[in-house]
Amino acid sequence: MFFGQFAHSIDPKGRITIPANFREQTLDGVFVTEGFDQNLSVYSKPHFEHIAANLARTSITNARSRELRRKIFSNSAELSYDSAGRILVPARLREMANIKGTVVIVGIGDSFELWSEEDWKAQEAKLNDPEADSSRWEAFDISTRGD
Amino acid sequence: MFFGQFAHSIDPKGRITIPANFREQTLDGVFVTEGFDQNLSVYSKPHFEHIAANLARTSITNARSRELRRKIFSNSAELSYDSAGRILVPARLREMANIKGTVVIVGIGDSFELWSEEDWKAQEAKLNDPEADSSRWEAFDISTRGD
DNA sequence: CATAAAGTGTCAGAAAGTGTCAAATTTAAG
DNA sequence: CTTAAATTTGACACTTTCTGACACTTTATG
């Protein structure tokens, strides 16, 4: 599982050091795709294949399905680690997520995300906003207790 | 079950010795997350995995689901004990809970919490305030008798 | 072909994390 | 009350991780 958040720097060539802990869970490389919130999503190989399989099951005759496929696959890249544990994220993808200088790497359980500092700050503010409807999570019924 | 409160010190690297009794109940490590009251919550593995499993079932195409994952996982860590029974709580989390120098470890039944001395004093004062409405617990209907 | 741009590999220093041990303290037992 | 056992703490050494720098290779372009 991927936990925590880390601010790492990007070298002049666009390489990003992935936290050692995350790297160990994705030794055979990762898939990076455009996220849904102006960010990049990073999946392990097996996990991405699972998502791809789900997508493949949706009907090709459905316009929305075709669009979703295009969105995801056309903006994906399969990346591997160099000997220093870095990945080179394609310039196109970095630009889409407005990532430069520093990137925030955010664990979200079964995958992790890459954010620009700026966008991540905004996202965090949103998550912690006490004004926001506190019942907005209720639909998920996350019990803290097993039965 | 986790009972009682313990004031322990933190070493220069941020390691905290967990009371032997608590440790024995979480030999395979713990999950630490941001609490609701400027503190940190600590769960056993099975307990936290239940929460994570619920989250994993929700769909990534749902915006609320993505936000909830971020909120929970980005402020969590999976920790294990070193040979002296200590855990290293990530600096980020310590700062969030204002923990430094000394930490108060508080058992609350099925999990335990980490507090800064200062915040814990305030919390205790609140709990023991003779001025407070003595009927404020009534809504909870805690029977003393099992059936 | 020459040049520039992009991508890769390697290395060393600083910082952070980890392991081990023994002194000090607390708790339990006789 | 004494002694023994267990626990917590501080100290130190060691390892790992991340970063920045530099050099080399590959690819694209005119």
User: In this structure, what is the dihedral angle of CA atoms A57, A63, A68, A71, given to the nearest 10 degrees?
Assistant: 140
The total of other beta-carbon atoms located within 10 Å of residue A81's CB is: 17
Q: How far is the CA of A30 from the C1' of C14 (A)?
A: 29
* b/e sequence A108-119, b meaning 16+ C-beta within 10 Å: bbbbbbbbbeeb
What is the pLDDT, as a whole number, of residue A139?
66
Spatial CA neighbour of A113 closest among A36, A56, A27: A36
Residue A143 confidence (pLDDT): 60
State the residue for tokens 């915040």. Answer: B119
Averaged pLDDT for residues A20-28: 96
Contact yes or no for B94/B14 (Cβ under 8 A)? yes
Q: Is the pLDDT of residue A147 over 60?
A: no
Cβ contact A4–B55 (<8 Å):
no
Query: What is the pLDDT, as a whole number, of residue A79?
Result: 96
Please tell me whether residue A101 adopts helix, strand or coil conformation.
coil
pLDDT band at B136 (very low <50, low <70, confident <90, very high): confident
pLDDT at A141: 67
CB–CB of B77/B31 below 8 Å? Answer: yes
Per the listing, tokens 């713990």 go with: B30
Chain B window 58-117: which residues touch A at a Cβ cutoff of 8 Å?
A: 58, 60-61, 63-78, 90, 92, 110-111
Alpha-carbon gap, residue A134 to A49, rounded angstroms:
35
Name the percent of chain A lying above pLDDT 90.
Answer: 73
For B14-69, how does the pLDDT look when each residue is reduced to its tens digit (9 = 90+)? Answer: 999 999 999 999 999 999 999 989 999 999 999 998 888 888 888 888 999 999 99
Taking only the tens place, the pLDDT of each residue in A116-126 is 999 999 999 99
The single-letter DSSP state of residue A106 is E
Angle, CA of B1, B3 and B6, to the nearest 5°: 135
Does residue A128 register a pLDDT over 90?
Answer: no
CB nearest B69 (choices: A5, A108, A139): A108
Q: What is the pLDDT of residues B106-127, one digit of tens each?
A: 999 999 999 999 999 999 999 8
Question: Between chains, do A109 and B55 touch, taking CB under 8 Å as contact?
Answer: yes
For the ranges A48-57, A138-147, B4-13, B22-31, the lowest mean pLDDT is seen at A138-147
Which candidate from B47, B73, B75 shows the least CB-CB separation from A109? B73
Compute the average pLDDT of residues A93-98.
94
pLDDT value of position A38:
95
Per the listing, tokens 């936990």 go with A3
All residues at 6 or more sequence positions from B51 whose CB lies less than 8 Å from its CB, including other chains: A142, A143, A144, B43, B72
Alpha carbons B23 and B71: distance in angstroms, whole number: 27
Q: Contact at 8 Å (CB) between A5 and B70?
A: no
